[in-house]
Structure 1
């Protein structure tokens, strides 16, 4: 996997993981005060810093697994049971 491909895969996995992690631990504000800038249903404490850090760690683990699978012969289209026919 080239550096460019690795970065693109990391960003795609990071973005997907972010949307999986965002709702974890989020509690909506049942009252909400529009005068104070809040609305009913907005998160009380979003903890975005921890969620971004958790997303990055999770993505790093997933990316290492993808990098290993792409580089291994276990998931190869050149040799083994998944091999493409030779011309």
Structure 2
């Protein structure tokens, strides 16, 4: 059976109010918790076949940190429509 996993980006930083929303990085909490989410996905055996990711900085960084914790490489497609 196919499953759809929806994962929101980790906590982003609002330290620089001049940054465009698209360019907001992850905050300290997001940098800490994104790998934890990857480990939890792995623990549950939820290995995606494909990741569809918004091209915004915080979502790309979240996926990078999450995917490092998965047992196998997962290809990612960055889709403007998701931003």
Per the normalisation by structure 2, the TM-score is 0.32
By percentage of residues, which structure has more helix? 1
Per the normalisation by structure 1, the TM-score is 0.31
Structure of higher RCO (CA pairs closer than 8 Å, 6+ residues apart):
2
By percentage of residues, which structure has more strand? 2
